[in-house]
Amino acid sequence: MRWASKCAKTAETVRSAAIAPERTGCQVAAPDLPEFTPGKVVTGEHQGGQYTIQALIGRGANGNVYLVRSAAGHPAALKAGPEKPELKAEVEVLAELKKRELENGDHRSFLLDADRFRTEDRSIPFYVMKFVRGMPIDAYIRKYGYRQIGAAGLGLLDRLSGLHRAGFIFGDLKPCHVLVEESGAVELVDYGGASAIGASVKQYSGWYDRKYWNAGSRTADPGYDLFAFAVLCLHVFDERGLRRLDGALLPQTRSAEDLVQLAGRIPALQVFRPWLERALHGRFTGSGEAHAYWKALCRLHPAKARRGSSRMLTAAFCGSLLLLGAVVYAALSL
């Protein structure tokens, strides 16, 4: 699913786990849902959950996303739309992912509820997710520095691995579908393109599609997501170079090796070049191996503290010195 409104320039924008920040390639017409207005209380027809609409925060082909407040007063994100197989498929993917995560003792799943809202003339399906404060991965890297790709990439691979273990691939992976919270935690957003492993990829975007580069099929397997993540790295660090490369090649001459060579010309990615080469050529046996290799490279080349974190630590240190000085002064004055 691609979203209709334009991308906010600020990287601090509050996002939902269901919303892709609105960047290039994330635009479509949205369904009309006049029943969902600020102040409206949406009550689930079967589960009975109640959610008060606060604001519309995203529009997509499969549904609109609203900031809501639960009956307990907690913020959440509610996605509602017309009766469509795509919306139903999203819920099924998230429900299966939640089930697998709970079985593994992982309680990070952001699917909170799935139900229907009955109006006078129709029944509208919806699902509810936890609310996530985050920014697109490219904005996060720009804010905190290129070295943060290590930790952010590890978090993304962790999320992808969990999805693959549940039997799905993400499919439409690109910067606007990856949010990074201020804490550094990573969330995949917009599961409209998720496809069952072994099926055809339901949704894809040019650069991130391995078939676009004549590097493989559109059959859903973990390698499809790993290829897309490698291209995401190139996009984040050298969008202009990627655009030039694409424009200089004919469709039949595009290849994974062209992308590998581009990676070799990006200084910030040299630490991860061996990983990128394997992902682009489809040489990982699965996302577990890819995650382990990325983690090993991170350990060999640890990142410095985030720029924002450094400022906070400096402020805390200065505050401690001032407090210590005050204590010493008070002691000497006795």
**Of 182, 191, 149, 173, nearest to 17 (Cα)?**
191
Task: Please tell me the predicted confidence (pLDDT) of residue 189.
Answer: 82
C-beta separation of 326 from 332 below 8 A: no
- Encode burial over 221-255: b for 16+ CB neighbours within 10 A, e otherwise: bbbbbbbbbbbbbbbbbbeeebeebeeeeeeeebe
Task: Please tell me the predicted confidence (pLDDT) of residue 304.
Answer: 67
pTM for the full model? Answer: 0.79
79 is in an annotated binding site: yes
Beta bridge partners of 60: 3
171: amino acid identity, one letter = G
Task: Please tell me the predicted confidence (pLDDT) of residue 318.
Answer: 46
Write the pLDDT tens digit of every residue in 141-188.
999 999 999 999 999 999 999 899 989 999 999 998 999 999 999 999
Task: Please tell me the predicted confidence (pLDDT) of residue 308.
Answer: 53
Residue ranges in the chain modelled with pLDDT below 50: 1-25, 27-28, 309-334
Q: Give all domains of the chain, ordered by start, each with its CATH number.
A: 15-132 (3.30.200.20), 135-300 (1.10.510.10)
d(CA 291, CA 245): 28
> Is the Cα torsion angle 47, 52, 58, 61 positive or negative in sign?
positive
Task: Please tell me the predicted confidence (pLDDT) of residue 131.
Answer: 84
Q: Is 96 exposed, middle or buried (0-12, 13-18, 19+ CB in 10 A)?
A: middle
Task: Please tell me the predicted confidence (pLDDT) of residue 96.
Answer: 83
d(CA 277, CA 102): 34
